[in-house]
Amino acid sequence: MYKVIKIILLLSFILTTPLKSVNADDKIKIGLLVPLTGKNSEIGQSIVNSTRLAINKIDNTSFEIIPMDTGSNANITLMSAKKLSELGIKIIIGPIFNDNLKVLNNFKDVIFLSLTNKSNSYSNNIINTGINATSQIRAIKKFTELNKIKKTIFLTPNVDYKDEIENAIYNTKIKIIKNYIYDTDPTKLTQQIEKITGYKVRKQNLEDEIVRLERSGQNDKEKLIERLKKKDTLGEVEFDSIIIADFDESLKSVTTSLLYTDILPKEKYFITLNQWFDESLLKETSSQPIYFPSINKKNYDNFSLEYFEKFNQYPNQLAFLSFDLVGLVYYLIDQNNLIIDNKIFKKKNLFKGKVGIFEIKDNKINHILNFYKVEDYKFKKIF
């Protein structure tokens, strides 16, 4: 209850609260670095649209967003950041891509609110605001504790975010038996899952037990054998929950391999990372229930509808996040007496936006996420 009281303010209230008195000529200008040209221009335009929605809700002429193009290119990002800096802008939302952050460490007087979900930062003036692995695993840890899950294994694909997952496991201190790194190549995946789950041993256990019963003199052996023949394996595994750090078709390949090795979601918890309510999961009934942390679905749906009504298309996920960042920046500037300096994100604060709750401390932003399960063709909120 104390934490709830400490939450700064609801976004709807923040966006209608005027800034402390600002002279007409002293506009508060915030920069926006997104791809407006090139192959990722649709992503950038969606973010621009969402920030416009936020500005319209604020309805304060002293607060202004100035977008600049990054073109998904580090050199263009550098030039655009320089132009914004020369305009006296001290806070910039963006850029999107992690590779573009490397060129920004020379802008010591500018705070960049990067939209990447990577937790590593190339400079103290860059704050990554995406929904990072630590935020997600914290929510998973809460779920395992609430359900008294004691024996958990991690399955992490051998891809570029592998280190992110390993760092998040360490940072959250989630209790796991082991983090297994697997190859996403479908020709190798099933064999790896077989080994992790001890499938061949459990398969052999079943065959051995049937043979033993057939040779025994037990009176009810026919009934027992008939029951065993309906099984695929015999014997327990070392875990009661599996966290799969994967997405899309690769995630489905892992769950399919688990089903093949007789690991069933009705018997063991299948947990994964933020899936952004991927509706294809609703059709995978054999892999249900499956659990994951995420942003607030009701708010996400409402925002998507509002965005569609305004722009006749649906927003991307980063647009949803950037909408909240405008409100967050607006509030923090006001609370800091209109002074924009490197202390603005150092104070410990909780901010409730549409995404959910932002936890701000020491130039870091984490998200306090909700938790959902996929079951009966629905996304059901757990907490």
Q: Which CATH number fits domain 133-198+237-294: 3.40.50.920, 1.10.3720.10, 3.30.930.10, 3.40.50.2300?
A: 3.40.50.2300
Per-residue pLDDT of 202-257, as tens digits, reads: 999 999 999 999 999 899 999 999 999 999 999 999 999 999 999 999 999 999 99
pLDDT score of 18: 54
Q: What token pair was written down for 106?
A: 């020379």
Task: Tell whether the model's pLDDT for residue 175 goes beyond 90.
Answer: yes
- Least confident interval from 15-19, 70-74, 99-103, 276-280: 15-19
How far is the CA of 132 from the CAs of 168, 197, 311, 332, in angstroms? 9, 28, 29, 22
Question: CB-based contacts of 281: which residues, under 8 Å, 6+ apart?
Answer: 275, 287, 290, 374
**Between residues 147 and 25, the one the model is more confident about:** 147
Strand partners of residue 361: 364
Q: Which CATH number fits domain 2-131+297-367: 2.40.10.10, 3.40.50.300, 3.90.79.10, 3.40.50.2300?
A: 3.40.50.2300
Residue 10 has pLDDT above 80, yes or no: no
Assess contact for 12 and 65: CB atoms under 8 A.
Answer: no
Evaluate if residue 168 carries a pLDDT over 50: yes
Domain parsing of the chain, residue ranges: 2-131+297-367, 133-198+237-294
Tally: H helices and E strands in the chain: 12, 15
> Highest-confidence range of 108-122, 162-176, 332-346, 351-365, by mean pLDDT?
162-176
d(CA 314, CA 321): 14
Tell me the Ramachandran region of residue 246: left when phi exceeds 0, alpha when psi lies from -120 to 50, beta otherwise: beta
Q: Does pLDDT of 322 surpass 60?
A: yes
Which region, left, alpha or beta, applies to residue 337 given φ > 0 means left and ψ of -120 to 50 means alpha? Answer: left
Instruction: Decide if 2-131+297-367 and 133-198+237-294 have a common fold.
Output: yes
| Cα gap 3→350, rounded to integer Å | 8
Contact 70, 103 (CB under 8 A): no
Q: Edge-to-edge strands of the sheet including 364-368?
A: 349-352, 357-361, 364-368
Label residue 330 exposed, middle or buried (CB < 10 Å: 0-12, 13-18, 19+).
Answer: buried
Q: How far apart are CA 121 and CA 373, in angstroms?
A: 32
What order of strands is seen across the sheet that includes strand 290-294? 178-182, 152-157, 241-244, 269-272, 290-294, 370-375, 378-381
In 3D space, the residue among 327, 368, 268 whose CA is nearest the CA of residue 13 turns out to be 327
Q: Which pLDDT value is given to residue 2?
A: 39
Please give the model's pTM, rounded to 2 decimal places.
0.90
Backbone angles phi, psi at 76, to 5 degrees: -65, -40
Query: Rounded CA gap, 321 and 303, in Å?
Result: 11
Alpha helices (H) along the chain: 2-6, 11-14, 41-58, 74-86, 133-146, 162-172, 186-197, 199-215, 221-228, 248-260, 297-311, 317-335
d(CA 196, CA 202): 12
Backbone angles phi, psi at 264, to 5 degrees: -110, 140
Residue 65's pLDDT is 95
Q: What is the pLDDT of residues 279-314, one digit of tens each?
A: 999 999 999 999 999 999 999 999 999 999 999 999
- Which pLDDT score is estimated for 72? 84
d(CA 315, CA 293) in angstroms, rounded, equals 20
- Is 28 in a helix, a strand, or coil? strand
pLDDT at 350: 85
How high is the pLDDT of residue 19? Answer: 52
What mean pLDDT do residues 13-20 have?
Answer: 50
pLDDT score, position 6 = 41
**C-alpha span between 207 and 273 (Å, rounded):** 36
Looking at residue 194, what is its pLDDT? 98
Q: What is the dihedral sign for C-alpha 17, 21, 22, 28?
A: negative
pLDDT: which is higher, 340 or 95: 95
Q: Is 133:174 a contact under the CB 8 Å cutoff?
A: no
